[in-house]
A = this chain, B = another copy of it.
Amino acid sequence: MRRMTARPANAHQARLLKLLRDGGPHSRAQLGDRVDLSRSKLAVEVDRLLETGLVVADGLAASRGGRRSHNIRLAPQLRFLGVDIGATSIDVAVTNAELEILGHINQPMDVRDGPVAVFEQVLSMAAKLRASGLAEGFDGAGIGVPGPVRFPEGVPVAPPIMPGWDGFPVREALSQELGCPVMVDNDVNLMAMGEQHAGVARSVGDFLCVKIGTGIGCGIVAGGEVHRGTTGSAGDIGHILAVPDGRPCACGNRGCLEAHFSGAALARDAKEAAQQGLSVELASRLETNGTLTAVDVAAAAAAGDATALDLIREGGNRTGQVIAGLVSFFNPGLVVIGGGVTGLGHTLLAAIRTQVYRQSLPLATGNLPIVLGELGPTAGVIGAARLISDHLFSPA
Of A103-111, A284-292, A324-332, A343-351, the one touching chain B: A324-332
Per-position contact with B for A273-306: 1 when CB-CB < 8 Å, else 0? 0000000000000000000000000000000000
- Across the interface, A236 reaches (CB within 8 A) one of B223, B251, B364, namely B364
Q: Is A362's beta carbon under 8 Å from chain B?
A: yes
Q: How many copies does the complex hold?
A: 2
Query: At the interface, is chain A mostly helix, strand, loop or mixed?
Result: loop
Given A223-B225, A229-B206, A236-B331, the answer on whether A241 and B325 have CB atoms closer than 8 Å is yes
User: Whole-angstrom distance between the alpha carbons of A228 and B158 in the complex?
Assistant: 31
Q: Which residue of B lies closest to A358 (CB)?
A: B253
Chain B residues positioned under 8 Å from A324 (CB to CB): 240-241
**A 226-250 binary contact with B (CB < 8 Å = 1; else 0):** 0111111111110111001000000
Interface residue A396 (Cβ < 8 Å from any Cβ of B): no
| A234/B330 in contact, CB under 8 A | yes
- List the B side residues contacting A326 at CB < 8 Å: 329
CB-based contact A361/B230 at 8 Å: no
Docked-complex contact A241 and B359, CB < 8 angstroms? yes
Q: How many residues of A contact B (CB 8 A)?
A: 49
19 contacts between A and B (CB under 8 A): A158-B363, A205-B230, A229-B330, A230-B332, A230-B368, A231-B363, A231-B364, A231-B366, A232-B331, A235-B329, A235-B331, A236-B328, A237-B328, A239-B360, A240-B324, A241-B321, A253-B358, A322-B325, A329-B329
